[in-house]
Structure 1
Amino acid sequence: MSSPPEGILTGKDWETIDFNRNWTFANGWKPAKSFQKSSPAKRSNWTLWPKFPSIPAKPDKLRPTAYLDGLRGFAALLVYLHHHNLWVHDEGDTKGAFENGFGYDGKYYLGAFPGIRHLFTGGHFAVSTFFVISGYVLALTPLTHIHSGDHVKLNDNIASAFFRRWLRLFMPLIATVTAFIVMLHALGLWVRPAKLQGSLRDELWLFYVEFKNFSFVFKEGGVPWLTFNRHLWSIPIEFKGSIVVYTSLIAFSRCTRNARLWCQIGLIYYFMYIADGWYCALFVAGMLLCDLDLLAKRGELPRFLQRLEPAKDFIYYHLLVFSLLLGGVPSATREVEQMAKSRGWYYMSYLKPQAVYDYKWFYLFWAAVWLVAAIPRIPWLKRFFETRICQYLGRTSFGLYLIHGPVLWTLGDRLYVACGWHTAEHRDNIPHWANKLPLPRRGPFGLEISYIVPQIFLIAVTYGLAELVTRGIDTPSVKFASWFYRRALGAPTAGRVKA
């Protein structure tokens, strides 16, 4: 059986628009039409255990935001590759080789070359893109109601989305981290990044103490991650960014078109150049891009943008190139002086605002915004993200994000050690795994045989588990949040909100 054809950005959880109202675009500033090909009939039934691999048939009709779903899925894959590459290669003489610029310290690795480096260390660029996409999609339906002047539906929509947001983000996290902790104690597994407590009860208590602070939206100070899944540091930021989007939409809902656009630009400037709120700037930028796309659909773009339309191809192809260049900002440390030593980044280092503490997010802000703006207006690139494989990656992206760290820490670490990638810490704690299947380190840096061979197995296992998490944890969490909100509304008003 195949899983439902809808993706994470097109499911009901995101409260997207009913696009049956002739959402079609002509040439110009409006996004290109979705690429359509004949496909098998939709498959509606599915089972908990996935076929391996499971890539469902492409739906008969793609939604206009399907490319965002594919982009998010591809970005999640870059996060996976980023963590695996640094896990293996960021040791000893090669430490920092990927995250510094091409040619830094006399090292000219292909994996650090501009553009190509995203396939090796594109994780931070991907996370920035996640936040822009989230800002876009969260604002899509509310902005539609704002444009139509329907403030009753606007309030209903934001109330529903805000009520469900915490549950939708944190319930899958709780389930996967708890399962990981129980597995470690049941099997007595050693993992490099974390030290186990004396008992499962103590471990679960420690997780509770960490989580209640980790998930508190007004938390100040402390470490920004969880002991047993450090890769999930972005989940609280997703929730904070959602609050920024929802409150901004309410605040700007009765403004004129120009006032609303200027207020969004003002917020972006404030978060990036005055306060260190880089992630808020990314969410608001996504909201602004959504607003402009909806205005383009209605033929109501500001006049100065309409005047630039003859040069749109020139503009968006250049935005794509600049996005790929800035997205590869050297970021081995938070010291901008080190970035300035990288080839081609000396003068760029002077652009960093005083307010931004971790400089990479300033450059990644522009990279992610330009990428999301350019893709729908470059037809061949939009079609790529609408392909079946990208749609599959998008549908399982949250499951992948939740599970790839535990797989890397357990199975991945042991396979790499068996193939020859081990340290003194490994030899002390899991000596029986060292060099069980030694493979040569021949090949380009980052594509060695001893890295690629275990990766073939790991990526299949990780995506299989991501599919399982998507079906068994993520989707039920979405449904539970919707059910809970309907119950909270009560029977008389339960039908007012589409959940």
Structure 2
Amino acid sequence: MLLLAPSSDERLGGATRNCLRTLWRFIAFLRPSFLIRDPATKLKAVHSTAWLDGLRGIASFLVFSYHFQYRFHKRVKFAYGIKGGDHPVQVPIVRLLFSGSPWVSIFWVLSGVSLSLKPIRLARNRSWEHVFDTMFSSVFRRMLRLYLPVIAVQTCVLFATILGLYNHSYALSLDWPFSGSSEPHPLLMKTASSQFSHWLYRLCISLNPFHPHKSPYDAHLWTIPIELRNSIILFAALVGVAKLRPGIRMMVVGALYLYCNLVQEGDLGLFLAGMACAEFMVILDEKKEDALSIKPEAVYEPHPMESRLLCIFGFILGLYLLSFPEIKYQDAPIYSTLAYFTPSLITSPYKMWVNIGAAVTLFAMAGYKTIQRPFALPLARYLGQISFSLYIVHGPIDHLLSIVLVPFFWRLTGKDTPFGYEMGCVLAFIIEAAVVVSVADIVTRAFDTPSVRFSRWLQGKWSL
């Protein structure tokens, strides 16, 4: 029997089918995960710490919201209760929905909690070998986990800059026409090679954990090298206090927190506050396990009335301190008193009280599950899954879209009245938010999750 070779038409047809199949897979990959129904995900139980991810997701989204609106507004930075400070967005606690810096402080505490929970549990169980393995893995993978997705996204920004997509935003940044604040934009070079050299240089110095600089390709990435530096210091602190008795460990961590604030390292102090909060959460879990081991059939009541009231008060107090105004706090009711009692060593009462507010808020949330529940809802948890990608993509997208969308909608709504001005901003934000969330979803699957897998693979490959 003769075997006939496939004809050219058959080979062409096979190649076409392969191309179409590849194209379809690519299109399917671009579909956001929230549009994909996965029955298996509905069967997964919500973890007791899911609210941490949800809070991180909400914080990341509100940081994006702030970076969008502050290009067209200024009032949110000013204190409420002073001359010109009577707008609803300036009201304490309400202003947090329109602020950015307080949520960065929340990020720092959350990082401290997330990175400390497992080592603290192991240390309290005296599993010293596992403590060492955990710390080795955390230190080895941390830089890869943080930097690989950033470099991937920034490479896309480089190509967009070379293609001229940021020409309009760069021109506007030289003479900002809106009422808010502009941001650094990529300096446009004459050739692609010079643009690459400039991008590489700015990327290297912006990711320096010892002396980070804001990159004109995305000024918001200044937090990433600080996250790396403070994470490594936190790991060292975890090792240093691992074998201390729990009570002494908490006192040492508290003393380190105070010291960090006095020497103007409040961001690092928040990581340490997160470590203390992680131990607090582990203690609560141990109390629950002990109570259920004595009476398994009993209904465990983790929150007596006194502790519930204390947590509610602490939560409200924390949010109020997080609302410390950036400008004119010296004239604001209550905040001016707090500023007066700020130690003279502290150069920024604003930063100190916001940082204290972040720590108090997290401790209060950790102590009362009712406060945690809104942050464990599906939407919050989804935002938590894409929170890192959302943070690293929202700046470049905002530079492209906000300056186009807002003027477009102003032509429809008008901007001469407060209603028309704000409606144009709101409509533009809705469109941009949909784009940012969708892109963040893709980046999570394309870069973020693979970077986690790669760092684990590399650790296993290189380990003894």
TM-score for both structures, normalised by structure 1: 0.77
Q: Residue 30 of structure 2 is aligned with which of 49, 64, 69?
A: 49
Which residue of structure 1 aligns with residue 306 of structure 2?
Answer: 311
Determine if contact 1:115/1:324 at 8 Å carries over to the other structure: yes
Cα separation, 1, equivalents of 2:28 and 2:307: 46
Cα separation, 2, equivalents of 1:442 and 1:473: 43
Which residue of structure 2 aligns with residue 467 of structure 1?
Answer: 441
Does 2:67 align with 1:77? Answer: no
Which residue of structure 2 aligns with residue 378 of structure 1?
Answer: 368
Residue 189 (structure 1) shift? 3.0
Structure 1 residues 54 and 245: alpha-carbon distance in aligned structure 2, compared to 1, 3 A threshold: farther
Determine if contact 2:281/2:367 at 8 Å carries over to the other structure: no
**1:56-71 equivalence runs, <5 A:** 57-71=41-55
Cα separation, 2, equivalents of 1:66 and 1:255: 29
Residue 310 (structure 1) shift? 5.6
Does 2:142 align with 1:170? Answer: no
Aligned amino acid, residue 75 of structure 1: A
Which residue of structure 1 aligns with residue 221 of structure 2?
Answer: 232
Structure 1 residues 135 and 58: alpha-carbon distance in aligned structure 2, compared to 1, 3 A threshold: farther
Provide the secondary structure at the position in 2 that maps to 1:187: coil
Q: Unmatched 5+ residue regions in structure 2?
A: 1-26, 174-183, 289-302
Residue 167 (structure 1) shift? 0.8
Aligned amino acid, residue 197 of structure 1: M
Cα separation, 2, equivalents of 1:157 and 1:482: 12
Which residue of structure 2 aligns with residue 3 of structure 1?
Answer: none
Determine if contact 1:441/1:450 at 8 Å carries over to the other structure: no
Aligned amino acid, residue 76 of structure 1: S
Determine if contact 1:385/1:391 at 8 Å carries over to the other structure: yes
Residue 309 (structure 1) shift? 6.3
Cα separation, 2, equivalents of 1:454 and 1:370: 35
Which residue of structure 1 aligns with residue 281 of structure 2?
Answer: 293
Aligned amino acid, residue 293 of structure 1: M
Aligned amino acid, residue 295 of structure 1: I
Structure 1 residues 52 and 293: alpha-carbon distance in aligned structure 2, compared to 1, 3 A threshold: closer
Residue 211 (structure 1) shift? 2.5
Any idea what the Cα deviations from partners look like across 1:302-329, whole Å, max 9, x if unmatched?
A: xxxxxx9662112111111111111111
Does 2:134 align with 1:144? Answer: no
Which residue of structure 1 aligns with residue 341 of structure 2?
Answer: 351
Provide the secondary structure at the position in 1 that maps to 2:215: coil
Which residue of structure 1 aligns with residue 245 of structure 2?
Answer: 256
Cα separation, 1, equivalents of 2:306 and 2:195: 59
Residue 153 (structure 1) shift? 0.8
Any idea what the Cα deviations from partners look like across 1:248-292, whole Å, max 9, x if unmatched?
A: 11111121122211110110011012x111011100000001112
Aligned amino acid, residue 145 of structure 1: L
Does 2:433 align with 1:451? Answer: no
Q: Residue 270 of structure 2 is aligned with which of 266, 270, 282?
A: 282
Determine if contact 2:165/2:400 at 8 Å carries over to the other structure: no
Residue 243 (structure 1) shift? 1.1
Cα separation, 2, equivalents of 1:260 and 1:188: 52
Cα separation, 2, equivalents of 1:167 and 1:365: 27
Which residue of structure 2 aligns with residue 414 of structure 1?
Answer: 404
Cα separation, 1, equivalents of 2:360 and 2:57: 18
Aligned amino acid, residue 436 of structure 2: T
Cα separation, 1, equivalents of 2:94 and 2:267: 25
What percentage of aligned pairs have identical amino acids? 25
Cα separation, 2, equivalents of 1:76 and 1:55: 23
Cα separation, 2, equivalents of 1:298 and 1:107: 47
Which residue of structure 2 aligns with residue 217 of structure 1?
Answer: 209
Residue 173 (structure 1) shift? 0.9
Which has the greater radius of gyration? Answer: 2
Determine if contact 1:403/1:462 at 8 Å carries over to the other structure: yes
Provide the secondary structure at the position in 2 that maps to 1:106: coil
Cα separation, 1, equivalents of 2:36 and 2:377: 11
Cα separation, 2, equivalents of 1:124 and 1:188: 29
Which residue of structure 1 aligns with residue 91 of structure 2?
Answer: 113
Any idea what the Cα deviations from partners look like across 1:4-35, whole Å, max 9, x if unmatched?
A: xxxxxxxxxxxxxxxxxxxxxxxxxxxxxxxx
Residue 438 (structure 1) shift? 5.5
Cα separation, 1, equivalents of 2:232 and 2:77: 32
Does 2:245 align with 1:268? Answer: no
Any idea what the Cα deviations from partners look like across 1:218-257, whole Å, max 9, x if unmatched?
A: 32xxx63111100111111111111121001111112112
Residue 442 (structure 1) shift? 4.3
Does 2:461 align with 1:487? Answer: yes
Determine if contact 2:81/2:332 at 8 Å carries over to the other structure: yes
Aligned amino acid, residue 439 of structure 1: G
Determine if contact 2:207/2:213 at 8 Å carries over to the other structure: no
Residue 465 (structure 1) shift? 0.7
Residue 59 (structure 1) shift? 5.0
Determine if contact 1:88/1:416 at 8 Å carries over to the other structure: no
Determine if contact 2:205/2:213 at 8 Å carries over to the other structure: no
**1:356-375 equivalence runs, <5 A:** 356-375=346-365
Which residue of structure 1 aligns with residue 194 of structure 2?
Answer: 202
Residue correspondences, number: 407
| CA RMSD, Structure 1 to Structure 2 (Å) | 2.3
Cα separation, 1, equivalents of 2:159 and 2:413: 31
Structure 1 residues 69 and 58: alpha-carbon distance in aligned structure 2, compared to 1, 3 A threshold: farther
Aligned amino acid, residue 414 of structure 1: V
Q: Unmatched 5+ residue regions in structure 1?
A: 1-45, 91-96, 301-307, 333-337, 421-434, 494-499
Cα separation, 1, equivalents of 2:248 and 2:366: 26
Residue 376 (structure 1) shift? 3.7
Does 2:321 align with 1:320? Answer: no
Does 2:326 align with 1:331? Answer: yes
Residue 48 (structure 1) shift? 2.9
Determine if contact 1:53/1:460 at 8 Å carries over to the other structure: no
Determine if contact 2:277/2:366 at 8 Å carries over to the other structure: no
Any idea what the Cα deviations from partners look like across 1:198-224, whole Å, max 9, x if unmatched?
A: 2222222122222222223332xxx63
Cα separation, 1, equivalents of 2:367 and 2:280: 13
Any idea what the Cα deviations from partners look like across 1:155-177, whole Å, max 9, x if unmatched?
A: 11111111010011011111111
